[in-house]
């Protein structure tokens, strides 16, 4: 296998593969901003969604390939802020707020600051070793926050070619999602879910049906997933444990 030298130590290409995936996610986030500037909003949203998929893969690859490293952790955190704190907010601004009074910029700032505070809280917990294992996050993770904040885009893409919601409603939505990220609401972590052996075939069938629906009616399905996720968040408020775990 080919190897690269890094600080006097040979590192296999397999070990830096997670970092390459993280960089690919960063490229997707930056390109999403570019498409947002050009008015190609559907492509911008698709790239942010692609960044979310890549973000879910890089950590698993790092553990699988023994590629965990301090630089990889920093890259992942910086990439998360760009992809889930900056890119969605800017795309929403270009789409629904551009050309309106300066006050419409404030929700963008609030959402982005909430995202960076969310990630900072996770980084501190990880470094102090105080990140508790469990079935719940504390607050909504940054990737889920990005998916939720783009809900007005999904609805508009599904039923019209222009914003369906007025700018003030979009702004309030951005602020509320930001507050969910920095809240202490216990939010279900899907990483801990386990499927009984007898139900695996049904899970695979359901996943195939979901994938087919996403390919056929992507915006309507994404909107429905957001509503379902908000239902889980509400369940966490009503019936969740008193303590979750910090999460990016």
Task: Write the CATH number for 114.
Answer: 1.20.120.1760
Tens of pLDDT, residue by residue over 15-69, are 678 888 899 999 999 999 999 999 999 999 999 999 999 988 887 777 776 666 7
- Domain that residue 165 falls in: 3-239
Q: What tokens appear for 201 in the block?
A: 């075939």
pLDDT at 85: 95
Mean pLDDT score, 64-79: 78
Is the residue at 244 inside a domain?
no
- Comparing CA positions, the residue from 142, 130, 125 lying closest to residue 76 is 142
Report the C-alpha gap between 20 and 14 in whole angstroms. 10
Taking 60 as the threshold, does the pLDDT of residue 70 lie above it? yes
What single DSSP character describes residue 245? B
248 falls within a domain: no
- Could you tell me which residues come within 8 angstroms of residue 202 by beta carbon, excluding any fewer than 6 positions away? none
Q: Is residue 101 over pLDDT 70?
A: yes
H-only helix segments in the chain: 13-37, 41-64, 70-80, 87-96, 106-128, 142-149, 151-159, 167-182, 200-216, 218-239
Number of domains in the chain: 1
Sequence-distant contacts of 208-212: CB under 8 A, at least 24 apart: none
Per the domain annotation, does 105 fall within a domain? yes
b/e sequence 181-219, b meaning 16+ C-beta within 10 Å: bbbebbbbbeeeeeeeeeeeeeeeeeeeeeeeeeeeebb
Across the range 70-83, mean pLDDT stands at 86
* Assigned domain for 166 exists: yes
The whole-chain average pLDDT of the chain stands at 83
Q: Is 127 exposed, middle or buried (0-12, 13-18, 19+ CB in 10 A)?
A: exposed
27 part of a folded domain: yes
116 or 164, which is more confident? 116
C-alpha dihedral, 148 to 152 to 158 to 162, nearest 10°? -150
Q: Is residue 209 part of a domain?
A: yes
């Amino acid at each position: 296998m080919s190897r690269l030298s890094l600080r006097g130590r040979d590192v296999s290409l397999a070990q830096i593969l997670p970092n390459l995936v993280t960089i690919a996610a960063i490229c997707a986030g930056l390109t999403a901003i570019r498409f947002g500037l050009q008015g190609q909003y559907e492509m911008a949203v698709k790239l942010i969604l692609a960044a979310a998929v890549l973000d879910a893969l890089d950590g698993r690859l790092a553990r699988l390939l023994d590629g965990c490293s301090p630089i990889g952790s920093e890259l992942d955190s910086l990439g998360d802020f760009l992809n889930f704190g900056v890119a969605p907010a800017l795309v929403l601004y270009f789409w629904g707020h551009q050309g309106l009074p300066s006050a419409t910029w404030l929700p963008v700032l609030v959402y982005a600051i909430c995202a960076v505070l969310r990630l900072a809280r996770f980084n501190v917990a990880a470094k102090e070793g105080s990140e508790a294992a469990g079935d719940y996050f504390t607050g909504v993770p940054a990737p889920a926050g990005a998916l939720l904040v783009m809900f007005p885009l999904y609805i508009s893409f599904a039923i019209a070619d222009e914003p369906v919601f007025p700018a003030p409603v979009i702004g309030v939505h951005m602020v509320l999602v930001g507050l969910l990220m920095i809240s202490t609401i216990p939010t279900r972590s899907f990483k801990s879910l386990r499927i009984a052996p007898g139900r695996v075939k049904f899970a695979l069938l359901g996943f195939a049906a979901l994938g087919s629906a996403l390919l056929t009616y992507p915006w309507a399905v994404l909107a429905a997933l957001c509503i379902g996720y908000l239902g889980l968040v509400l369940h966490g408020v009503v019936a969740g444990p008193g303590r979750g775990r910090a999460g990016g």
